[in-house]
Chains A and B, each alone.
Chain A
């Protein structure tokens, strides 16, 4: 418990100290890699100006980078407006539609279609962005980038160290393949007759996010067909993944659909030995479930040489409101440039979100690698793929398919076909275009 608390405090202080260090750049020296920020350049001709930055969730994090920026430019005031996550997406488009919307706003790519028409392109050359950041190409629209990723979030395996030791497992037993993983899960499972006492693995309520929408890549199958629009969830790869999930519960007996509603909570409650979760879970474990002594390892593969290890999603850089007054837009452009060039801010934001830095120069940064959920990704980070800002129906339809299979006795083929039909119907009017073809190792 104490160790966990110390680790959480250390991580928090690292994030804050990282941001505190942004003030180091209050000097006149230009900084950055290809994208350079020149602190000596005057903003708004030195005249006072106020802009708003809307975000959700992390006031301290955003305020710290604002403080670093306004220390360099004391004539600029950036007013931070915090919002509740869910309702932000109702209010933001309404505000951006008028003249009084925020000049800067935090973006999540799942709301891409709602926001993109209100955004101004970044004033930074695309080639400079591509030189410094991974995944920029997927964000290019008609030769312009409106926002890109500062971090990549994906799934890793979290395991309970105490249960691991009790099962007689050591570091050497960390599985590399799914077959090994299933054997380890069996060893971690405790039963009292037919009654499950401890699940070796739980994926309840999360199989669509962490398995169905990612492991298909390990088998060389994209989520969308070549046209980039038609879902590909009836593929053999998807069926194989779904069958593996069913077998893990129904053949191996390492977990149960009735053993805990949400696998993330079941792991936190000390009822499951392993769970696959995305990066944000690292922070949840350190705050909500601080009693759990956990370890992290990279997601197993089927054969050790996957086409891609998993799907990732990007945490996005700020959006700039194209309807904001020009002087405010100029400040916003400058602020985004400051954010992109500033390594300490990049590290702090990535640590706070538990995302792997998209900034290439930070892939081996020791502060990043001190976070176990990120260090396990470092070796193969270039083998993770982003399909683009998928409409929510892709997730929800696959979730329904899984529920139908586990709870309603529907066979895998029928459930996936139904999901496919549902997605096609829902995406009829969507402008979504997959960017799987831009993956570095795309076939």
Chain B
């Protein structure tokens, strides 16, 4: 009986927390069908009093939404795949190979996570400028190819894979390339999924770096476009909410599809240090 009561109480707490977490999203979604004056009115209602779709229809008035969306999708997918691959590769080397300076190298990787991004952004900007990569996706993709967080996470994850499997493959004549691609990668799919989800989210939402290095409207990303709704004196909230509602669809889909692997991956990488 006592156990049942605490279970109900726990579920109630979780329900309240769930509502608190989801409510702003529902409010934003609902407000994307309201006029600005209703969004800013003193008397607030969750559902639109006057339902309009013009915020969605006129989304392109501020920028070419579809273009920005596709650009973001392209850059995010490329960076996510690249980071997932390089993180797994580096994680494999750092966890399964024994060589001099391995811990030092790993410490160096960890140290990159400890530097605040605002410290590196100016030198990074100057480097990109001197390489002549401004206004090009090279400036977005190449500096993002390696992730300290990804390498750390994958090292932790791959450490949990039994050495015996890799040894058996070597005895059977498998080379390192084969072992990595045919054994390690499939066995690390939970860890890869969690890295991929994190990286997808970060790249999709990243605003400042794409804004600084991309000038052409036809190459610009969605996160930058969303900022265009904030004017000097006012904000077009209706259009902003409509664009935001659509912009989070890829993130939701990614999370829905990889939810199981994500949780398993996070749990696995936390098991062993």
Contact = CB atoms under 8 A, between A and B. Distances in A.
Contact of A84 (B41, B212, B215, B224): B224
Interface string A278-308: 0011011001111100000000000000000
Interface string A65-102: 00000000000000111111111001100110010100
Interface stretch (B17-25, B108-116, B228-236): B228-236
Contacts of A280: 232-234
Interface string A41-84: 00000000000100011000000000000000000000111111
A265 interface: yes
Contact of A85 (B37, B122, B135, B230): B230
B27 interface: no
B137 interface: no
Nearest to A288: B36
A84 B40 contact: no
B224 A288 contact: no
A269 interface: yes
Interface in B200-245: 207-208, 211-212, 215-217, 224, 227-228, 230-234
B53 interface: no
B230 A268 contact: no
B217 A269 contact: no
A390 interface: no
A87 B129 contact: no
Interface string B123-158: 001000100001100000000000000000000000
Contact of A91 (B40, B63, B212): B212
A57 B228 CA distance: 7
Interface string B40-68: 11100000000000000000000100000
Contact of A268 (B37, B122, B233): B37
A124 to B, nearest CB: 27
Given A94-B125, A269-B40, A85 B232 contact: yes
A301 B186 CA distance: 78
A269 B216 CA distance: 39
Contacts of A57: 231-232
A271 B129 contact: no
A288 B234 contact: yes
Given A265-B40, A288-B40, A84 B234 contact: no
B43 to A, nearest CB: 9
A182 to B, nearest CB: 25
Contacts of B129: 98, 100
B207 to A, nearest CB: 8
A260 B42 CA distance: 9
A84 B233 contact: no
Given A269-B42, A288-B36, A290-B37, A81 B215 contact: yes
Given A85-B230, A85-B232, A288-B36, A91 B211 contact: yes
Interface residues of A, number: 33
Given A268-B37, A289-B37, A290-B37, A82 B63 contact: yes
The residue in A85, A95, A288 that gathers the most chain B C-beta atoms within 10 A of its C-beta is A288
Nearest to B135: A100
A95 B122 CA distance: 11
Contact of B234 (A83, A271, A284): A284
B215 A85 contact: no
B232 A288 contact: no
B163 to A, nearest CB: 49
Interface in A180-218: none
A79 B207 CA distance: 22
Interface string A248-265: 000000000000100001
Interface in A372-398: none
A260 B41 CA distance: 11
A82 B234 contact: no
Interface in A9-63: 52, 56-57
A185 to B, nearest CB: 20
B218 to A, nearest CB: 10
A414 B125 CA distance: 46
Contacts of B231: 56-57, 85
The residue in B134, B215, B217 that gathers the most chain A C-beta atoms within 10 A of its C-beta is B215
The residue in A80, A84, A86, A95 that gathers the most chain B C-beta atoms within 10 A of its C-beta is A84
Contacts of B63: 82
Nearest to A277: B233
Contacts of B134: 100
A81 B220 CA distance: 10
A108 B233 CA distance: 13
Interface in A131-168: none
10 contacts: A79-B216, A81-B216, A87-B207, A90-B212, A91-B211, A94-B122, A108-B232, A265-B40, A269-B42, A284-B233
Q: Which A-B residue pairs are the 10 nearest by beta carbons?
A: A84-B227, A280-B233, A269-B42, A85-B232, A288-B36, A98-B129, A284-B234, A57-B231, A81-B215, A91-B212
Given A84-B227, A85-B232, A108-B232, 16 more contacts: A57-B232, A79-B216, A82-B217, A83-B211, A84-B224, A85-B231, A90-B208, A90-B212, A91-B212, A94-B212, A100-B135, A265-B40, A268-B40, A281-B233, A284-B234, A289-B37
